[in-house]
Structure 1
């Protein structure tokens, strides 16, 4: 299924869990084409409870509507520890691509992995650094932890299905990625783009142009002025329409590296609303799927033309993620550091 008004195709993924091999193969082919051509697609037929999505919006909006002092009680402690609240102007996504821009016009709240097993040394600070540090849950709204925890699990399950489709699209066994994402270091974020009556600074975005870092991202966006845009291979910024009941999916830098850039990690941004557009507040729910911290991302041999060398050296998922985080918040290249550098931020 496609949307003639958008460069981003809309794909019904219900056949991925159905019993029709031909229908499943057709969906896999659509996903593979989208990853090669634009790196973005939207999914319907995903089976996610839309009531849960609404509860996520409601509880997150209630959190952002609180006094700043209340939100600051769960403020993110430092650039390397992505847990808790960041206010408007405290980061710029474009910095992750080494581009200096004015701070972004949004506030956000992040959590990392939930339901982390107790006592398993794999998850310890000594081995994992800060990737499994505890989340900072606000006292209010009281239901926030339970709703976000449920949504995190549902998004992770959806990512697992999509990663299986990715494997098939790359002519690999469907479970190829399974042992690389079974202890993932994914994150869930709500981004609130407040209404503002003042004009942005030159070059200022709600979220500056950037690529995502990991394997894939799932976004639930809201219909409001000033929305998500993708940068096409033709050099144009094109809007990504809101599809009722759908989710936006895009691949990140690690998936591009895995495929030697056969699949595209596309730059995207959230633009300021047009002047005089009325109430422009909008919120996005974003799930950043990130493989296990020790998963070694090496270019797939099938993606390297005969006689050529891979474009990318092997890198672990965790080290790659840290370097991007620091750039996003510090406004400059990240220092060389490993997972242990996160311990001080706990």
Structure 2
């Protein structure tokens, strides 16, 4: 297996044509996106609608939270290992378990939340969609710290902004995949998305063999939108690691497993990682990632799109409910569970099973 680092860089796309009235420019952007997602499924985007001053406020608030004593942070500790909510200390997750790799725990801590308003109101009022047994923990109530005091209102505002941006991306996906406008609407109108602020403290000792700040993994949602920080690497179809460039006021966008399955492997759900710096290097500094994971409706059936299959290219994956796929992957990383053959057959992707494992 080839594991070297390439001189290539992750592509950069300017999204501003999507927000213009130039239909030809929109189509050209969609073609460029399709090309990138076929090759690496990982890109840096500029020209987006997100107010970066809001992102700056979120960043400062999250750093203030992570600076609190551990006992204070644990007041909103994760309530259960299948709920993406609350604070999770360092060494509490192994992201690589989501793709069937047995590695040491990750050198990160994080705080997670879901959609504002839904868990606190509709979930508790027994809304038939949000409180149904089939929803599982996807709409578990959010846990909010008392300090810093602006944490909740600013993070809720940012969550809403990122949700609108993700809806825009799906409209661009429809254009790139030659789908009718609005094709995804009924599949993503009640998304079970999550937001995570992930903090990587400076290392104080050498990592264990194979231990990273964030272990090698693929995201198992529709699409991920992430702030850009040094140390992030993505893996291309040949199995080579590519450094993700740090560009001011940009976001990293990467395709998740659900879109990969929807597109029948036309688009990649790329493995990525955050490397552990040398103790004596300038890179051994605290690192913060603000990550929005856009997930479809929990009851959406993930099955091959009509434009991504043919007689010569039949569907590679059986249909699966989004909630089942997401929870299976998430609990693997929180419980440090190894994959069984049955798990690999049902929840793996062609990419994680063959392309990277056998590359080179």
TM-score normalised per structure 1: 0.92
- Aligned equivalents of 2:227 and 2:207: distance in 1? 25
| 1:287 corresponding residue in structure 2 | 292
Aligned with 1:123: secondary structure? coil
- Aligned equivalents of 1:17 and 1:249: distance in 2? 17
**Unpaired stretches in structure 2, ≥5 consecutive residues:** 1-6, 344-360
Task: Return the offset for 1:6.
Answer: 4.5
| 1:151 corresponding residue in structure 2 | 158
Aligned with 1:189: secondary structure? strand
Q: Which of the numbers 280, 284, 293 marks the counterpart of 1:276?
A: 280
| 1:248 corresponding residue in structure 2 | 252
- Note if contact 1:221-1:283 (Cα within 8 Å) is conserved in structure 2: no
Q: Which of the numbers 253, 257, 264 marks the counterpart of 2:261?
A: 257
Q: What RMSD, in angstroms, separates the aligned Cα atoms of the two structures?
A: 1.8
- Aligned equivalents of 2:85 and 2:204: distance in 1? 30
Compared CA separation, residues 334 and 126, structure 1 to 2 (3 A): farther
- Note if contact 1:326-1:334 (Cα within 8 Å) is conserved in structure 2: no
Task: Return the offset for 1:27.
Answer: 1.1
Compared CA separation, residues 332 and 186, structure 1 to 2 (3 A): same
- Pick which of 272-281 and 230-239 moved more: 272-281
| 1:342 corresponding residue in structure 2 | none
Compared CA separation, residues 174 and 6, structure 1 to 2 (3 A): farther
| 1:95 corresponding residue in structure 2 | 97
- Note if contact 2:87-2:112 (Cα within 8 Å) is conserved in structure 1: yes
- Note if contact 1:323-1:334 (Cα within 8 Å) is conserved in structure 2: no
CA deviation string 1:261-292 (max 9, x = no partner) = 01111100000113421351110000011000
- Aligned equivalents of 1:319 and 1:199: distance in 2? 37
| 1:142 corresponding residue in structure 2 | 149
Aligned with 2:9: secondary structure? coil
| 1:32 corresponding residue in structure 2 | 34
| 1:9 corresponding residue in structure 2 | 11
Aligned with 2:133: secondary structure? helix
Compared CA separation, residues 239 and 307, structure 1 to 2 (3 A): closer
- Note if contact 1:121-1:127 (Cα within 8 Å) is conserved in structure 2: no
- Aligned equivalents of 1:307 and 1:221: distance in 2? 39
Task: Return the offset for 1:334.
Answer: 7.3
Q: Would you say 1:180 and 2:187 are equivalent positions?
A: yes
Aligned with 1:122: secondary structure? coil
- Aligned equivalents of 2:135 and 2:336: distance in 1? 25
Compared CA separation, residues 49 and 191, structure 1 to 2 (3 A): same
Q: Would you say 1:312 and 2:312 are equivalent positions?
A: no
- Note if contact 2:102-2:338 (Cα within 8 Å) is conserved in structure 1: no
Task: Return the offset for 1:153.
Answer: 0.6
Task: Return the offset for 1:310.
Answer: 1.2
Compared CA separation, residues 240 and 308, structure 1 to 2 (3 A): closer
- Aligned equivalents of 2:258 and 2:223: distance in 1? 8
Superposition map of 1:13-92 within 5 A: 13-92=15-94
- Aligned equivalents of 2:147 and 2:223: distance in 1? 30
CA deviation string 1:59-116 (max 9, x = no partner) = 0000000000000110002210110011110111001111110110000000012121
- Aligned equivalents of 2:134 and 2:95: distance in 1? 28
Task: Return the offset for 1:241.
Answer: 1.1
| 1:211 corresponding residue in structure 2 | 218
- Aligned equivalents of 1:162 and 1:6: distance in 2? 25
Q: Which of the numbers 104, 107, 115 marks the counterpart of 2:106?
A: 104
CA deviation string 1:24-56 (max 9, x = no partner) = 111111111111110011111102111100001
Equivalent pairs counted in the alignment come to: 331
TM-score normalised per structure 2: 0.88
- Note if contact 1:165-1:174 (Cα within 8 Å) is conserved in structure 2: no
- Aligned equivalents of 2:313 and 2:26: distance in 1? 33
| 2:4 corresponding residue in structure 1 | none
